[in-house]
Structure 1
Amino acid sequence: MGVFSRISDIVNSNINAILDRAQDPEKIIRLIIQEMEDTLVEVRSSTVKTIAEKRELERRIAGLAGEIDEWQGKAELALSKDREDLAKGALQIKARLKADLALLEKQLVQIEEGLAKQSDDVVKLQQKLADAKAREASMAMRHTTASARLKIRSTLYDERVTDAFSRFEQVERALDELEGKVDVYDIGVKKTVAEELAELEATTQVENELNALKEKLAKKAEGSN
């Protein structure tokens, strides 16, 4: 299983669990980042082990190459001493060592290919992790803003708020009716002596000012003639 398919399986299972519990997206974002960080640690640890295996294998290959050269020298020595039987035996050992060497070299190629893939996974995972962290703040802000708007909207359209405004209107109508009843009592009520005298005084004062104004205008007209 690849690194990213593993992350996908783990994260998706946890996301589904979180959504089932109706938890907020910020927790999902933090979960994804945490899973990526944990996986990055594991991949790096695995890479370290692979590098150690590669170095061990390289030492074994170098050792086998030395043994092969050594048995080649022994075969030559035996043949120079007219010991063809020993030379043949040395070459047989050399052949077995060469077979072992070929197997180890094949393993080394596989390890190097695996190490290259692991290194590539580490680079990609680091890039995705950096991108996720950069987007975390923005997504968290979007969630906070959307939650606040949802709360306001739900409050505006809450039946309790509608009922409260309906009650306000009922109270206003009741106050209008009460004020109307007060106004009714004033209709057709006979004025008191004091009220009539006050009106008479006000009327007399207006008439006096009007007469004075007429005289003033009349004198002005005579002077102009």
Structure 2
Amino acid sequence: MNLGDRFVRLVKSNVNQALGAMEDPEKVLEQAVADMQRDLTKVRQAYAEVSASSKRAEEQSKLAQGEADKWYQRAQLALEKGEEELAREALGRRSQQLELVDNLRGQVEGNAGSLTSLYDSMKELEAKMAEAKAKKDQIIARARTAKAATKVNDMLSGIGDGSSMAAFDKMAEKVDKLEAEAEVSKQLAASSSSGIGSGSSLDAQFKALERGGVDDELEKMKRNILPQSGVDDELAQMKALMEAEKDGEKK
């Protein structure tokens, strides 16, 4: 393994370790949405409690105002009857109820401010919840895609490393060698099969050619050894005439 391959493997190892150490985005986002949902539930509960408390305070304020009015009427009746001390007592009770009315109304007014704040917070959280859920789905999809891409890239890089490609090259070279040996074997087999059927005739043809060459050479030698000329022909003719004359005399 060369220095470049070692560096690539080292970087990949460090990246994988870093990714493993990181929190799972899907789990983190799911937990974040769950926390927001829990906060929204608390705000809604608080809004409901404050709203209910405000309604009770308002009802109690109305009751206290009614009691104050009743004690005022009793004070008037006591004065009409000449019962000044009793009237004073009635006015004291009326004062207590009016004080209660003021406290309850202050509570209602204070609750109104709290209700407005809680309502705004609740609506804001609801909007953020909807946005968070939409982003959560998108980010989770991206995280899953990134993880899948990382796995595929790791697989591809593993397939394309030097040792794997060397194995492929070695096998391809071996197959080329086997194919070449098969082609040579095929040619040898074809040559052997053709020689078996026509070997004898081929030998005969060459022998005939060889014999023809010998005969030609012999004929040439004869011509050189026994040359023919005009004198020889004339001598032969004279011998023939002489033989003819002898035959005539005998007759």
TM band (smaller chain):
0.5 to 0.7
Q: Does the residue aligned with 2:161 lie in a helix, a strand or coil?
A: helix
Partner of 1:60: 60
What aligned pairs does 1:73-152 form with structure 2 within 5 A after superposition? 73-152=73-152
Structure 1 gaps, min length 5: 1-18, 186-191, 196-225
Task: Tell me which amino acid in the other structure corresponds to 1:46.
Answer: A
CA contact (8 A) 2:54 2:107 kept: no
Q: 1:117 to 1:20 in 2, by over 3 A?
A: farther
The Cα offsets for residues 65-122 of structure 1, whole Å up to 9 and x where unpaired, read as: 0011111112222222332222222222222222222222222222222222221122
Task: Tell me which amino acid in the other structure corresponds to 2:154.
Answer: S
Across the two proteins, how many residue pairs are aligned to each other? Answer: 172
Q: Does the residue aligned with 2:141 lie in a helix, a strand or coil?
A: helix
Partner of 2:203: none
1:172 Cα deviation from its structure 2 partner? 5.2
The Cα offsets for residues 118-137 of structure 1, whole Å up to 9 and x where unpaired, read as: 21122111111111222233
Q: What is the alpha-carbon distance in structure 1 between the residues aligned to residue 21 and residue 27 of structure 2?
A: 12
Task: Tell me which amino acid in the other structure corresponds to 2:26.
Answer: E
Q: 1:156 to 1:20 in 2, by over 3 A?
A: closer
Structure 2 gaps, min length 5: 1-18, 185-190, 196-251
Q: 1:39 to 1:175 in 2, by over 3 A?
A: same
CA contact (8 A) 1:72 1:91 kept: yes
What aligned pairs does 1:30-41 form with structure 2 within 5 A after superposition? 30-41=30-41
What aligned pairs does 1:198-217 form with structure 2 within 5 A after superposition? none
What aligned pairs does 1:161-176 form with structure 2 within 5 A after superposition? 161-171=161-171
Task: Tell me which amino acid in the other structure corresponds to 2:130.
Answer: A
Q: Alpha carbon RMSD of aligned pairs, Å?
A: 3.6
Q: TM-score, normalised by structure 2?
A: 0.55
Partner of 1:202: none
CA contact (8 A) 1:65 1:101 kept: yes
Q: TM-score, normalised by structure 1?
A: 0.61
The Cα offsets for residues 118-173 of structure 1, whole Å up to 9 and x where unpaired, read as: 21122111111111222233222211221222223333444983321233345556
Q: 1:32 to 1:72 in 2, by over 3 A?
A: same
Q: 1:132 to 1:56 in 2, by over 3 A?
A: same
Q: 1:76 to 1:20 in 2, by over 3 A?
A: farther
Percent of aligned pairs with the same amino acid: 26
CA contact (8 A) 1:78 1:86 kept: yes
